[in-house]
Copies of this chain bind each other. A is one copy, B any other.
Amino acid sequence: MTVKQLGLPELVAHCVRLGITAVGLWREPVRAYGVEAAAALVHDAGLTVTSLCRGGFFTADGREADNRAAVDEAAALGTDTLVLVSGGLPAGSRDLPAARARIADGIAALAPYAAERGVRLAIEPLHPMYAADRCAVSTLDQALDLAAPFPAEQVGVVVDTYHVWWDDRAPAAVARAGAEGRLHSFQLADWTTPLPAGVLTGRGQLGEGAIDLAHWCELALAAGHTGPVEVELFNDDLWARDGLEVLEETLSAFGKITPRIGATLSG
């Protein structure tokens, strides 16, 4: 999604060229290309799929079939992680606790299906500015509480710096996620202001914003995270530019965050 201007074949070719060995994918371009074809394209190039984004929106009606399809697509792509964006308030509702209960029910309904297919559900807390319309799960602790009833290898969480950086309880929650074995996905994006209208497409390039990304990488490593580090930028300015150039810039910015992450990446 960071370089959504690129088609899947271009993305894969550029990753190979730049030495990027793993990539997180979104459902829409995968489905447009064909799930099996996308899986072959990626694997034939020697790439690993880190995660598929996204299932969820449990607070809307009739999402069961689509969420199971998302699990199937993740399995077909060979990734073990499906990211869940859980949904905001149902239309006409102002009841956040009820929305959160409905999210819990939705996860409970989907988890066995995913487990049978070897796909972990990763609940992503979204920044509180999305609580009404995208995700009523606003903190890492809430996500961990939602995951708690399930085995860690079935349901865990996503830590995305863009969503949790402001939260003074989040560092402890990262440690908790690690201790529980639920840190299924770790994503980087920076916080830049002013936010654009709609607040969806203003995520900053790594190093250009307010977040101490090195600190968050250290927290994830200290929590035992050994999985991939994803970079997920939604940014109109980046999307308007040449995709390869953005990919190179992002890789360079990534490499500057911390030597420890660089070592992890190259290792």
Task: Tell me if A's interface is mostly helix, strand, loop or mixed.
Answer: loop
Say if the beta carbon of A132 comes within 8 Å of chain B. Answer: yes
Give the CA-CA distance A194 to B201 in the complex, in Å. Answer: 13
Whether, in the assembled complex, A109 has its beta carbon less than 8 Å from a beta carbon of chain B, the answer is: no
Cα of A165 to Cα of B96 in the assembled complex, Å: 9
Selecting from A11-19, A58-66, A123-131, the interface stretch reads A123-131
Quick one: which of A86-102 are within 8 Å of B by CB?
Answer: 88-89, 94-97, 100
Cβ contact within 8 Å between A89 and B210? yes
Interface size on A, residues (CB 8 A): 33
Seen from chain A, the residues whose Cβ lies within 8 Å of a Cβ on chain B are 88-89, 94-97, 100, 127-129, 131-133, 138-139, 142, 165-168, 191, 193-199, 209-212, 215
Closest B residue to A137 by CB, please name it: B168
A125 shortest CB reach to chain B, Å: 11
Q: How many angstroms between the C-alpha atoms of A139 and B138 in the bound complex?
A: 12
Can you spell out 8 A-B residue pairs with CB atoms less than 8 angstroms apart? Answer: A96-B165, A127-B128, A128-B128, A131-B210, A132-B193, A139-B167, A194-B199, A196-B197
